[in-house]
Structure 1
Amino acid sequence: MTIPPETPPPVPSEPEHPLAAPALPEQHEAPVTATEAGTDVLDERTYPRILEPRAAGRLPLGDGTWHQLARAYVRVQLISQAAVIVVVAAVAIGIQVFTQVPWQWIPAGVILIVTTIGLIITPRQARSVGYQLRRDDLVFRRGILWQRVVAVPYGRMQLVDITHGPLDRGFGIAQLKLVTAAASTGVTIPGLTQEAAEQLRDTLIAVAETRRTGL
């Protein structure tokens, strides 16, 4: 007859020391900040990248993500400028027919030339406009020959306004205006999609309130 091996008695566990460190909770990912939220909305139906001037002394883009204008903004501008050309030409032709006076072609010609030049450079000019959401401010840049870069601190913002005309609403775009205490630092971002304008407005208001309360 085989005798089974004797099992050792269970060892009692030591009582937990009152000064022992508690178990660490599970680590979670850091929450998304307000400036990082909704970046997909800001980049919907926009151009893929911002274009820089070719001159050697151009203002550099720097680091960070640049958001661009909606593609529909160029279409709205082209339609508006083409309408100006048609109206000015029609008025000049009408005056010529009814009065037989050719002087109206001098101002009409100037308007037509300037508008035609704007019609040609609008697509390139729109691609040079962009904005960047940084930790403490919003940076806005525009221009090809005359470049402008403005940094608007979140804590200085007093008003965030969204406006759009009938043609803008038809193409689903709007412009967002940032008003600060200093008028020279105000920024107007044209040609945002309606969703991007609303998302950017809510984000800027939330961040501005945080900066003002010092949280």
Structure 2
Amino acid sequence: MDDLFAPSDVSWTPVSPKLAAVRRVTAAIVFGLMTIVGLVSFGLMMGWLYGVLWLVVMGIGFAWTWVLIGRNQRSWKYAEREDELLVSHGIMFRQLVVVPYGRMQFVDVAAGPLERAFGIATVELHTATPATDAKIPGLHPDEASRLRDRLSALGQAQAWGL
């Protein structure tokens, strides 16, 4: 069953562990805001006991999210074949996207403020069919640039044959 989502005949490249750090900082901000709003709301309307209960629930939720983010980051990987790019990710719900180079229309590189602060970027491939679009988050900027240039060149070269 593992060969269905991660063929063994290719050399897989994992994404940077910094991806987990970016997602954990984002989760900390979201959980922090939710905790503050909940504490104020429950504390004012229902009493301090419900505020403490909310704090416990948010702590457990954040701890669970912390673990899941690490597992998800470790599941992201990609491989370059002669005619196609493979992107695999997911633990419980696995996904393997195979994008033929000749079907690519354009390649995006994006990095938000947190991603730039941690030194990572996301490469996104666009095809005519949105279902076959693929993205690879958590790449070092040099690798993202190299991959963008290589995929663009391969896409252009193989599109001539269509």
TM range (shorter): 0.7 to 0.9
- Superposed displacement of residue 189, structure 1: 1.0
The aligned counterpart of 1:168 is: 115
The aligned counterpart of 1:213 is: 160
The aligned counterpart of 1:184 is: 131
Whether contact under 8 Å (2:39, 2:54) holds in the other structure is: no
The aligned counterpart of 1:79 is: 25
Does residue 124 (structure 1) correspond to residue 71 (structure 2)? The answer is yes
Structure 1 outlier segments of 4+, above 6 Å: 55-58, 101-112
Structure 2 CA distance for aligned equivalents of residues 180 and 108 of structure 1: 45
Q: TM-score, normalised by structure 2?
A: 0.85
Structure 2 CA distance for aligned equivalents of residues 58 and 144 of structure 1: 14
Does residue 95 (structure 1) correspond to residue 41 (structure 2)? The answer is yes
* Of 183-192 and 94-103, the range deviating more from structure 2: 94-103
The aligned counterpart of 1:148 is: 95
Q: Equivalent pairs: percent with the same residue?
A: 31
Structure 1: any 5+ residue segments left out of the alignment?
Answer: 1-54
- Superposed displacement of residue 106, structure 1: 9.6
Whether contact under 8 Å (1:84, 1:115) holds in the other structure is: no
Q: TM-score, normalised by structure 1?
A: 0.65
CA RMSD of the aligned region, Å?
2.8
Indicate how the Cα distance of structure 1 residues 141 and 207 shifts in structure 2: closer, same or farther if over 3 A, else same.
same
Give the structure with the higher percent helix: 2
Indicate how the Cα distance of structure 1 residues 106 and 204 shifts in structure 2: closer, same or farther if over 3 A, else same.
farther
Indicate how the Cα distance of structure 1 residues 67 and 105 shifts in structure 2: closer, same or farther if over 3 A, else same.
same
Whether contact under 8 Å (2:35, 2:54) holds in the other structure is: no
The aligned counterpart of 1:202 is: 149
Amino acid at match of 1:67: T
Structure 2: any 5+ residue segments left out of the alignment?
Answer: none
